[in-house]
Chains A and B, each alone.
Chain A
Amino acid sequence: MIKSVINIILILFCCTNFLSAQDELSRQLNFADNLFEEGLYFDAITEYKRLLFFDENKKYDFDINYKIAVCYKKGAKFDESIKYFSLAALSAQNEEDKFEINLQIVRLNILRKTTGRSLQLLNDLETKSNYSQKKEINYWRGWTYMFDDKWDSAAVYFNMVDYDHELKNIANRVENDKYSVTFAKVISYILPGSGQFYTGNYLSGIMSLGWTAIWGYLTADAFIDERVFDGFAIGDLLFLRFYRGNIQNAEKFAVQENIKISNKALRYLQNNYKGIKP
């Protein structure tokens, strides 16, 4: 009789201990989730980490590492976020979860502009993906190229997702709006200042045209007067200096304007695009 009672007590002891620990952990999870919902990401991370620390059975490993990663991402701590997504991937139970986490890591690489790594991860994912996953991979390839300022490549991949994809149209529009750096340089070779005019920098264009015209005239005048040394000196030191400067300026302005166009498009996507963003 006494023996059986002691056995019951021992079982009770084990059960209550286990249940109470589990209860405490699930309460902690709720607490951390509430902080997360309220946008208190720093505190949420602390509480998730506390839960990880006391979760001896590793029951919450996947969920918590995932949520910590999301919190770090919200706080723009991309490196930390990748670390915790990678930890979550280690405890992922199925291939879908692993795929989802890898896409999250790709998205972080897009945000921190580590394009090479992002494309490498997407290539790895593609080898073991199904049709719908391939679409998703191409979608993120498109985003990778947009962040890498290669809008034409982005349009190609969005086209693979959907022929009439909104992002494809945006990428094409940006590519069309951008100035051709080569064209700006070539027309500046032919008519100094025209590259600046092409990119809308009229004052700089007029200045370039004026300077090269003055020094060109003086160079020619010197040669006509048979002052060969004067001609070479003015031509080399002044005329060519402004002529080369005009070509470099045309290139610089075209690049600058293109950056403005890209940034404007990215800002538009950030504020107005309703689909999934990195």
Chain B
Amino acid sequence: MLNSNFIKSILIVFLSAFAFTNGQTNDIFSPQNRLKFGNSLFYQKDYLRAIGEFKSYLNSENNDTVKFKMAFALSQMGRHIEAEDNFKGLFFTPDLSEEAKLEYFKSNFFRNDSKMFLQLINNSPFIPEKYERNINQLKQISMLTEENSIPDTNEIKNLFSEIEKIELMKFYFRKVNPEMKSPETAAWLSAIIPGLGKIYAGEIGDGITSFLFTGVLSFLAYDNFKADHKFRAWLFTGLAAWFYGGNIYGSAAAAQNYNAGVKYGFDNDLKIYLNSKNYYLPEYEFLNK
């Protein structure tokens, strides 16, 4: 009798335990499972879906690492303003405060508004001590990209390694002494000798063509006036004047194009270089767990 009761109680206890554990482990929408799935999506860089899972998890649990991952995913997706707001919420957490502050500044940096970024850095009380060097590096980099600022060469020397320093100083010199062409000079040169402004702006073929075209048309005008062919003379005079004026305008435009090309080339080269260095920012191991 005792034996039978004992077996019955064991059965009841075990079956209840089964039901409970099954319910716990097999509910794929449980917060823990959502977190696992979210982490997997995050690892696959499927950030939008990962954010959805993290949000659902955070509805029932509080986890700073998950909040950090969510903000990081937003930043990776280029949603920098939202990322900043989310990182701000982690400024006073015990474990991730410094990282959140760094990522906050990083998100702001990637909004591609160097002026705003420099203002923020100069006025913010939240510069993370642990990553102060990274922030200062970003500051020097953004000074390279900002039109009206010049990086501090001493800072570059202090903040970067020997090889990096050499590369960044090359960019520094390209920024300080850009090989720009003056549109006014180009226009004046073309006014004096047609096509010379274009040659000055680097468009040598166009310059020679303009010179020949304007020269030949002018000669034809002169020749026809001499031969008393009034109609043709005025026609060629008009064409010569048209080409002459157009060449002056075209030379100024060519110089502007040249300058835009120099600026674009500088920005592009700098971006490629900084991307290859991950903007001197650290990578967090805990994000891959």
Seen from chain A, the residues whose Cβ lies within 8 Å of a Cβ on chain B are: 1-2, 5-6, 9, 12-13, 16-17, 20-21, 23-25, 28, 45-46, 49-50, 53-54, 218, 227, 229-230, 233-234, 237
Task: List the count of A-B residue pairs having beta carbons below 8 Å apart.
Answer: 62
CB of B37 within 8 A of CB of A234, answer no
Give the B interface residue count (CB, 8 A). 31
Question: Given A5-B7, A49-B41, A24 and B220 touching (CB < 8 A)?
Answer: no
Seen from chain B, the residues whose Cβ lies within 8 Å of a Cβ on chain A are: 3, 6-7, 10-11, 14-15, 18, 21-22, 25-28, 33, 36-37, 40-41, 46, 49, 52, 213, 216-217, 219-220, 223-224, 227, 232
In the assembled complex, 20 residue pairs joining A and B whose CB atoms fall closer than 8 Å, in A order, are A5-B10, A5-B11, A9-B10, A9-B14, A17-B21, A17-B25, A24-B27, A45-B49, A46-B49, A46-B52, A49-B41, A50-B37, A53-B36, A53-B40, A54-B33, A227-B223, A230-B220, A230-B223, A230-B224, A233-B216
B contact residues around A49 at 8 Å (CB): 37, 41, 46, 49
- Interface secondary structure of A, over-half rule: helix
Q: How far is the CB of B230 from chain A (nearest CB, A)?
A: 14
A237 vs B219: C-alpha distance when bound (angstroms)? 13
B contact residues around A46 at 8 Å (CB): 49, 52
Q: Whose C-beta in chain A lies nearest to the C-beta of B41?
A: A49
B contact residues around A23 at 8 Å (CB): 26
A46 vs B56: C-alpha distance when bound (angstroms)? 13
CB of A234 within 8 A of CB of B220, answer yes
A237 vs B236: C-alpha distance when bound (angstroms)? 12
- Interface secondary structure of B, over-half rule: helix
Q: How far is the CB of B127 from chain A (nearest CB, A)?
A: 38
B contact residues around A21 at 8 Å (CB): 25-26
Q: Whose C-beta in chain B lies nearest to the C-beta of A50?
A: B37
Q: How far is the CB of A218 from chain B (nearest CB, A)?
A: 7
A contact residues around B28 at 8 Å (CB): 24-25, 28, 50, 54
B contact residues around A229 at 8 Å (CB): 223
CB of B49 within 8 A of CB of A233, answer no
B contact residues around A17 at 8 Å (CB): 18, 21-22, 25-26
A contact residues around B49 at 8 Å (CB): 45-46, 49
CB of B3 within 8 A of CB of A12, answer no
Q: How far is the CB of A46 from chain B (nearest CB, A)?
A: 5
Q: How far is the CB of A75 from chain B (nearest CB, A)?
A: 12
Q: Whose C-beta in chain B lies nearest to the C-beta of A8?
A: B11
B contact residues around A2 at 8 Å (CB): 3, 6-7
B contact residues around A45 at 8 Å (CB): 49
Q: How far is the CB of A245 from chain B (nearest CB, A)?
A: 15
- 8 Å CB contact of A13 from B7, B14, B213: B14
Q: Whose C-beta in chain B lies nearest to the C-beta of A214?
A: B235
Question: Given A21-B26, A24-B27, A50-B28, A12 and B223 touching (CB < 8 A)?
Answer: no
B contact residues around A1 at 8 Å (CB): 3, 7
Task: Report the 3 A-B pairs with minimum CB-CB distance, sorted nearest first.
Answer: A24-B26, A20-B22, A54-B28
Q: Whose C-beta in chain B lies nearest to the C-beta of A237?
A: B216
Q: How far is the CB of B267 from chain A (nearest CB, A)?
A: 28
B contact residues around A25 at 8 Å (CB): 28
B contact residues around A9 at 8 Å (CB): 10-11, 14
Other than the given A2-B6, A20-B22, A21-B26, 8 more pairs (CB < 8 A) read A2-B7, A6-B10, A17-B18, A17-B21, A21-B25, A24-B26, A53-B36, A233-B219
